[in-house]
């Protein structure tokens, strides 16, 4: 396929790193989009496997593909920034190298963007487990109950729990390129969590937000060497991202209106990070999390003000080791509760199965009785037909007629 694409309407920007094993399928899915007027900018972040050779071969077959090759590994944030500088599309989307897109993703997202002149279009997604090969819908990535019930809305229309309304990754969002450059936004050049600041900042500034309530992309999880599975190598990035976002909000005079939401979100976000890393990185991150949350509290929480800060309340009184023991006990309680719930569900299934089996037996018996009655009816009908055709029956009919005449 030799497609020329001088003025694409959409730029897809995809950093890749050592993705030779699965990247061919990912790119094929992208190139099968129902609309063709897009460009795919692939930024090879100094891969050490056959990724560069693979994308070079595919690019020779489809001129919509443009390749940037980094001479050293810079991380996904820096790679996305490089791709953005070369983007020619009216809208851009940033994909990971293990995202599998639906064939109508661009058509639906771009169609909605043009219909409402949107700054950003957010669509639904699902996860793809690389180990079990199972797909799971992720309904929590768009919290409808927190959003205005209209076709297009501003970030200011999200009155509470702003940071929980969406998940701050880029691959389920189509963004207006001029809005990005107009606000001078760039991804942080950090190893992980480099999308939190960029996406959240963009969404805060967005005046026209639209939703496509369809699953248009599948995001791979449980891939052994993915960044999300190796956060222990860059454990401090979570705090770096939150702090960049806080400073941005202060600079844009946005912090006060989102102050309580941000502090609560920082607590839950950092708790998740503590809960999902281990060994030495956990013990290094723990005191830094406490210091950061204490700083937020001292600077932004007024005296006697009550704000939901579950994490700081816990780690202020627990050593890192005690926190781990507490986490273990909570997980065990959750596991026990889940097992008990599973047992209840299994019993309910067994009870329902017995009820269904009993009903099936009644239905089967009734069906047999019905068949017997139908057979008896057929037999009676057949005997009646034979009787009506017999000589005796004809004589009886004539006798009845004669008696009727005599009675007159």
pLDDT (average), residues 320-331: 72
Token pair for 189: 């050049």
Closest to 12 (Cα-Cα) out of 62, 52, 51, 47: 62
- pLDDT digits 0-9 by tens, 72-129: 999 999 999 999 999 999 999 999 999 999 999 999 999 999 999 999 999 999 999 9
Q: What is the dihedral of CA 370, 372, 374, 380, to 10 degrees?
A: -150
- Tokens of residue 106, six digits: 């661009």
Residue 332 phi/psi, 5° resolution?
Answer: -65, -40
**pLDDT(346) > 50:** yes
Rounded to two decimals, the pTM is 0.79
What is the mean predicted confidence (pLDDT) over 153-161? Answer: 96
Res 325: pLDDT: 67
Tell which wins on pLDDT, 311 or 147: 147
Calculate mean pLDDT across residues 155-179.
96
Average pLDDT over residues 7-28: 95
Task: Give the pLDDT confidence score for residue 110 in this predicted structure.
Answer: 98
Asked which of 3-12, 19-28, 156-165 is least confident by mean pLDDT, the reply is 3-12
pLDDT value of residue 380: 82
If you compute the radius of gyration of the chain from its CA atoms, what whole number of angstroms results? 33
Which of 40, 168, 35, 171 has the alpha carbon at shortest distance from 114? Answer: 35
pLDDT for residue 1: 46
Residue 381 has pLDDT above 90, yes or no: no
């Amino acid at each position: 396929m030799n497609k020329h694409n001088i003025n694409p309407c959409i730029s897809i920007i995809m950093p890749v790193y050592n993705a030779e094993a699965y990247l061919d399928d990912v790119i094929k899915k992208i190139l099968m989009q129902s609309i063709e007027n897009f460009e795919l900018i692939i930024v090879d972040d100094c891969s050490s496997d056959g990724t560069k050779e693979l994308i070079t071969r595919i690019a020779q077959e489809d001129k919509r593909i443009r390749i940037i090759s980094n001479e050293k590994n810079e991380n996904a944030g820096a790679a996305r920034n490089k791709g953005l500088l070369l983007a020619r599309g009216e809208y851009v989307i940033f994909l990971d190298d293990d995202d599998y897109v639906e064939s109508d993703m661009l058509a639906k997202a771009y169609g909605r963007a043009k219909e409402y002149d949107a700054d950003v279009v957010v669509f639904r997604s699902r996860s793809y487990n690389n180990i079990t090969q199972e797909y799971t819908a992720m309904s929590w990535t768009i919290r409808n109950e927190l959003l205005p019930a209209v076709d297009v809305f501003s970030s200011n229309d999200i009155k509470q729990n702003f940071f929980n309304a969406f998940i701050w990754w880029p691959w389920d969002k189509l963004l207006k390129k001029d809005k990005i450059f107009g606000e001078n936004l760039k991804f942080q050049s950090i190893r992980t969590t480099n999308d939190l600041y960029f996406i959240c900042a963009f969404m805060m500034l967005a005046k026209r937000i639209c939703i496509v309530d369809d699953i248009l992309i599948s995001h791979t999880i449980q891939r052994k060497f993915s960044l999300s599975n190796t956060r222990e190598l860059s454990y401090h990035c979570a705090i770096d991202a939150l702090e960049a976002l806080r400073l941005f909000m202060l600079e844009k005079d946005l912090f006060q209106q989102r102050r309580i939401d941000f502090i609560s979100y920082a607590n839950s976000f950092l708790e998740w990070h503590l809960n999902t890393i281990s060994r030495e990185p956990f013990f290094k991150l723990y005191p830094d999390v406490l210091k950061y949350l204490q700083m937020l509290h001292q600077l932004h929480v007024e005296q006697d003000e009550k704000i939901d800060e579950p994490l700081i309340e816990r780690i202020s009184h627990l050593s890192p080791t005690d926190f781990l023991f507490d986490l273990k006990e909570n997980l065990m309680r959750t596991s026990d509760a889940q097992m008990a719930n599973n047992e209840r569900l299994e019993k309910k299934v067994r009870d329902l199965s017995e009820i269904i089996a009993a009903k099936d037996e009644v239905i089967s018996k009734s069906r047999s009785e019905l068949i017997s009655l139908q057979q008896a009816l057929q037999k009676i009908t057949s005997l009646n037909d034979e009787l009506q055709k017999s000589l005796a029956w004809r004589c009886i009919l004539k006798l009845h007629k004669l008696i009727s005449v005599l009675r007159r």
